[in-house]
Chains A and B, each alone.
Chain A
Amino acid sequence: MPVKSFEHVISFTQARGEGWLPIVNVAFISSNGTEYELPLLFDTGATEIVLPPEFAEDFPPGTAANANVGGKKDPASGVLTRGTVEFMGQRIECEILLLDLPANPLRAGLFGRGCFKPFGFGFWESTHQLYVTSQP
């Protein structure tokens, strides 16, 4: 049986009446030097970070890309670009898909698998915790 250890634990966020959600704070560092933190839903079903198109001016021009979206039959059109993000003290370059998302105060976007490589994750639904290591 493998044994894993983790340096960080992220508590799920309680959405009133809707249970607990694995939301992570991710910092974005744009090419013009602007920095901000956004809450993103930890989503193993997403292939990369997904943000709404309102962030286009903070990233280099990207290329057109289609993406499958839950609940929709046809793929949605978006733009695939790249950006620098900081998560758990590590700065990494990630692909970012700019795609229309319904606004939700608890998550500005999705944290997808494209940014997972430098980390290891342990998901504990019963205790509402996400364990993270930067040394997978």
Chain B
Amino acid sequence: MELQGGNNSSLAWVGLHWQELVEHYPNRWVLIADQRVAADAATPSELAKRAKRLGIRRPFMTKIGQGPVVWRTAHAR
């Protein structure tokens, strides 16, 4: 059985630090590597190019928003 996720993944790190990320990188795309923000950029393509220069073949990227994150969703009306 192969396990994805868990405490050591980049995603779990974002989950633990997302409030700090919102404070420090509003409206920016961030590249997470080795449990830290390795680079940030305004667009995903710019960030992918920076990752290539850093020698990271398949970077993990996500966008940090600005303001409160809204989680609740509802589809039925």
Q: How many residues of B contact A (CB 8 A)?
A: 42
Contact of A8 with B1 at beta-carbon distance under 8 Å, contacts A13-B12, A34-B48, A106-B14 already known: yes
Q: How far is the CA of A11 from the CA of B3 in the complex (A)?
A: 7
- Chain B CB within 8 A of A116 CB: no
Question: Are A70 and B73 in contact, with the CB atoms below 8 A?
Answer: yes
Question: Are A70 and B75 in contact, with the CB atoms below 8 A?
Answer: yes
Question: Are B61 and A108 in contact, with the CB atoms below 8 A?
Answer: yes
- Chain B residues close to A by CB (< 8 Å): 1-6, 9, 11-12, 14-16, 18-19, 21-22, 27, 43-45, 47-49, 51-52, 57-66, 69-71, 73-75, 77
Question: Are B60 and A14 in contact, with the CB atoms below 8 A?
Answer: no
Question: Are B12 and A105 in contact, with the CB atoms below 8 A?
Answer: no
CB nearest neighbor in B for A14: B15
- Please give, as numbers and ranges, the residues of chain A lying within 8 Å of B47 by CB-CB distance: 36
- Chain B CB within 8 A of A79 CB: no
CB nearest neighbor in A for B76: A70
Q: How far is the CA of A27 from the CA of B9 in the complex (A)?
A: 15
B75 CB to closest chain A CB (Å) equals 5
Contact of A70 with B4 at beta-carbon distance under 8 Å, contacts A34-B48, A36-B48, A105-B62 already known: no
